[in-house]
Amino acid sequence: MLILGLNAFHGDASACIIKDNLIIAAAEEERFTRIKHAAGFPINAINFCLTKAGVGINQIDHITINRNPKQKIIPKLFYASFKLLNFNFIKNRLTNLKKINSIKIQLEKNFKIKIKAKIHNIDHHISHIASSVFFSGFKNTNFISVDGFGDFVSTVTGYYDGKNIVKFNEVQFPHSLGLFYTAMTQFLGFNKYGDEYKVMGLAPYGEPIYFNKLEEILQYDKKKLFKLNLKYFLHHKGNVDMTWLDGEPKIGRVFSDNLIKFLGNVRKKNEEITQFHKNIASSTQKIYEEIFIKIVNDLYEENKNKNLCISGGCGMNSVANGKLFNNSKYENIYIPAAPGDAGGAIGSATYVNNLIAKNVTKYLDNPYLGPNFSENELSNILDKYSLEFKNNLIDLKKINDLNEINSIIAKYISQGLIVGYFAGKMEWGPRSLGNRSILADPRDSNIRKTLNLKIKRRESFRPFAPSILKDFTKEWFEIDDEVPFMSKVFNIRENKRRFIPAVTHIDGTGRLQTVSKDYNHNFYMLIKKFYEITNVPMVLNTSFNENEPIVCKPEEAIDCFLRTKMDILVLENFILSRN
């Protein structure tokens, strides 16, 4: 049986394919179009998945999409009728819904063939929840799905009993933790779709002195979970332009002038980040954390289960996720590699797969599901660049022994060189997990400035992740937890911080990735070689890109290497170095 799962006509459009209960491939459309968070129809991701599975679109039995326009139809109609929504807003939403309902037409248009597969529209949050609970390995678990909005809902809490997803509570439009965080992100001058992580990175540089003021805007409510003070927002009136149909997703300003009167002037694009902005970021993060933690603790009191699964776009708030360990009674917390909307493709597909199979399948939480390239393919690509390499004084060598390659790379990193690392299958989800990564020495206090200014070309406050050998986690962090997808931030032990300044954030924390042989044997062995040289069991790991989506193809890795100040490029068993 073949199932094609989609997230379409929304940010982070994506596709996956399941063949006989196994996830064969998955990828985000942005990796192919090179447009960050690409929306629209993920035709390139679909083609990749079909090719990887060795099948044609005519062989697909079921197609799933993580949206169901029929969900909450009565509340939607009620809201539209009584809230006097802007006409353009209604028109845009109807256009979007029409696109979602035309998946079969879109496929037939692209493939010039009649589609026989059955189409399944799966509730947005059910898709999120499935993307976590089916992959967690837990026999049963509590869950929370929290994001902006999907199918008129922003948050769902409940319990997975090993067979059924049971909802306990939900928050409907217009109230949303994700929307609140987006509003504050825009207020701070970060206006690109998906910029919320910048606020999380900026927060430790400030103090939460505006926390009490923000309680006027966002309030915890034990019965309703939380609510927004709508006088500070615009989205509920339909006065926010949104673009989901193609290219880069865009969201217009979601906060009202009342927020400006209440907090002060909005930071303009490229305006200096002041202490005021840092304090707003700190206050935003703190109130989000407190309400999020209260919600999951209330869920525990309602259903005392030691396990918790987190999904939805807000599941990428790794700082809040990490704080749950010391502020809740949960012992095991699972967050998938792609908790956001891209992950809804896998969630909807696995949900339907389990319904059809009539028994619950647990899935391997393997994030390495993207394209990979053979030695012959790499050789042919490198040949095309031979003149450019010569003109730029770049040496190219090939090494067949994997152990030798890892030793050489580890030595380069230990010498302070910055390495672009391209190996194996591309990662699924927003994080580089060792296959499409830029690697550096965590001991070098100057490397962060070099990376941010000369390679990543991004804000100076942005942190970098430590990828650590799993067995050393407790020795270096104030926790002993498996975090394979960089989904949690923890305190680095105080006596260790001076040894790894490049990955220690200003507040003494790090967004760690624990690396084990099971998840990524090659990356594990590379870090082990670095440990043998330095006695430090980790490397600095950041995504292989420069203000663009993570590189997918070898050509993109080479181009990024050539236009930045990277010292070394590794393409499988080929090593490029600057003279």
Per-residue pLDDT tens digits of the chain, which is 579 residues long? 999 999 999 999 999 999 999 999 999 999 999 999 999 999 999 999 999 999 999 999 999 999 998 776 666 555 555 555 555 555 555 555 666 678 999 999 999 999 999 999 999 999 999 999 999 999 999 999 999 999 999 999 999 999 999 999 999 999 999 999 999 999 999 999 999 999 999 999 999 999 999 999 999 999 999 999 999 999 988 778 888 878 999 999 999 999 999 999 999 988 999 999 999 999 999 999 999 999 999 999 999 999 999 999 999 999 999 999 999 999 999 999 999 999 999 999 999 999 998 877 789 999 999 999 999 999 999 999 999 999 999 999 999 999 999 999 999 999 999 999 999 999 999 999 999 999 999 999 999 889 988 888 888 888 999 999 999 999 999 999 999 999 999 999 999 999 999 999 999 999 999 999 999 999 999 999 999 999 999 999 999 999 899 999 999 999 999 999 999 999 999 999 998
CA proximity to 552, closest of 397, 402, 373, 374: 373
Does residue 399 contact residue 408 with C-beta atoms inside 8 Å? yes
**In angstroms, rounded to a whole number, what is the distance separating the alpha carbons of residues 65 and 68?**
8
Task: Return the DSSP state at 444.
Answer: -
261: Cβ contacts below 8 Å, ≥ 6 apart: none
CA 202 to chain centre: 18
Paired tokens of 11: 């940010």
**Residue whose structure tokens are 């290219």:** 247
CA proximity to 189, closest of 271, 286, 276, 287: 271
Question: DSSP string of 44-111?
Answer: HHHHHHHHHHT--GGG--EEEES--TTTTHHHHHHHHHHTT--HHHHHHHHHHHHHHTTHHHHHHHHH
**In angstroms, rounded to a whole number, what is the distance separating the alpha carbons of residues 217 and 529?**
51
CA proximity to 568, closest of 578, 557, 558: 578
Does residue 189 contact residue 268 with C-beta atoms inside 8 Å? yes
Does residue 14 contact residue 39 with C-beta atoms inside 8 Å? no
Paired tokens of 481: 């937890």
**In angstroms, rounded to a whole number, what is the distance separating the alpha carbons of residues 287 and 212?**
9
The pLDDT value given to residue 514: 98
Q: Please name the amino acid found at residue 135.
A: F
Q: Angle, nearest 10°, between helix axes 177-187 and 275-302?
A: 170
Could you give the 3-state DSSP secondary structure of residue 135?
A: coil
The dihedral through the CA atoms of 55, 59, 64, 65 has a sign that is positive
Q: Please name the amino acid found at residue 77.
A: L
Does residue 344 contact residue 127 with C-beta atoms inside 8 Å? yes
**In angstroms, rounded to a whole number, what is the distance separating the alpha carbons of residues 175 and 332?**
29
Does residue 99 contact residue 315 with C-beta atoms inside 8 Å? no
**In angstroms, rounded to a whole number, what is the distance separating the alpha carbons of residues 406 and 418?**
15
Query: In b/e form, how buried is each residue of 141-159, taking b as 16+ CB within 10 angstroms?
Result: bbbbbbbbbbbbbbbbbbb
Domains of the chain: 2-126+345-357 (3.30.420.40), 133-337 (3.30.420.40), 375-578 (3.90.870.20)
Cβ neighbour number for residue 174 with a 10 Å cutoff: 19
The dihedral through the CA atoms of 42, 45, 47, 49 has a sign that is negative
With 0.85 as the threshold, say if the pTM is over it: yes
104: Cβ contacts below 8 Å, ≥ 6 apart: 63, 115, 117, 119
Question: DSSP string of 304-347?
Answer: --SEEEEESGGGG-HHHHHHHHHHSS-SEEE--S--SGGGHHHH
Does residue 425 contact residue 369 with C-beta atoms inside 8 Å? yes
Does residue 501 contact residue 546 with C-beta atoms inside 8 Å? no
**Residue whose structure tokens are 């006065």:** 239
**In angstroms, rounded to a whole number, what is the distance separating the alpha carbons of residues 442 and 501?**
6
ω into 442 cis (within 30 of 0): no
Q: Please name the amino acid found at residue 42.
A: P
